[in-house]
Amino acid sequence: MEKHQLLLISLRKVIRAIDLHSRQLSKHSGLTGPQLMVMQRIAALGNPLVKQIAADINLSPATVTSIIDRLESKGFVIRERSTTDKRKVHLLLSDTGRALLDTAPAPLQEYFIERYQSLEDWEQSQLLAAVERIATMMDAQELDAAPVLVVGHISEDE
């Protein structure tokens, strides 16, 4: 097999691994990867604002708001207006959301990040350069993307 075919097969395997993990997460918890990440950040930050979560996970506030809307409609997240500044709305997990988060599997990027960070610095740099080159070869360098391993749109509104 030629090298370009082997590379395309490897790219396809990465896409499939992301898709399969997303399906497994959805089947197990009913959540998408970005929904799980938002819930994790709410728990970690303790009553944050949407803009704090957006900055923390590198998504737009509009995208995070859309994710929060879905989580709130499922009863996992509660919006609570600030008592000191009525313009601010804090987020917290409901008891149901906290219970779900406790049993949900970790997002795929957590496993990836652990393995990536265990590599030598030169290996990390080499992988980064190679994948950035692939993105350029696919005319994808200008696409807006968050550091979330999911296939398709992060929010259904996109």
Q: What is the CATH number of the domain that holds 82?
A: 1.10.10.10
Residues 90 and 138 in one domain: no
Cα 19 from Cα 15, distance rounded (Å): 6
Residues 52 and 74 in one domain: yes
Owning domain of residue 140? 106-146
Strands 89-93 and 77-81: what pairing?
antiparallel
- pLDDT by residue for the chain (158 residues), tens only, comes to 899 999 999 989 988 988 888 888 888 888 888 888 899 999 998 889 888 998 888 888 888 899 999 999 999 999 988 788 888 888 999 999 999 988 888 777 788 889 999 999 999 999 999 989 998 998 887 776 666 665 555 455 44
Residues 61 and 80 in one domain: yes
Split into its structural domains, the chain has a count of 2
- pLDDT at 84 (0 to 100): 84
- pLDDT at 28 (0 to 100): 83
Residues 55 and 110 in one domain: no
- pLDDT at 107 (0 to 100): 76
In a domain, 154, yes or no: no
- pLDDT at 145 (0 to 100): 66
Residues 96 and 42 in one domain: yes
- pLDDT at 87 (0 to 100): 85
Residues 70 and 81 in one domain: yes
- pLDDT at 158 (0 to 100): 45
Residues 81 and 141 in one domain: no
pTM, rounded to two decimals: 0.73
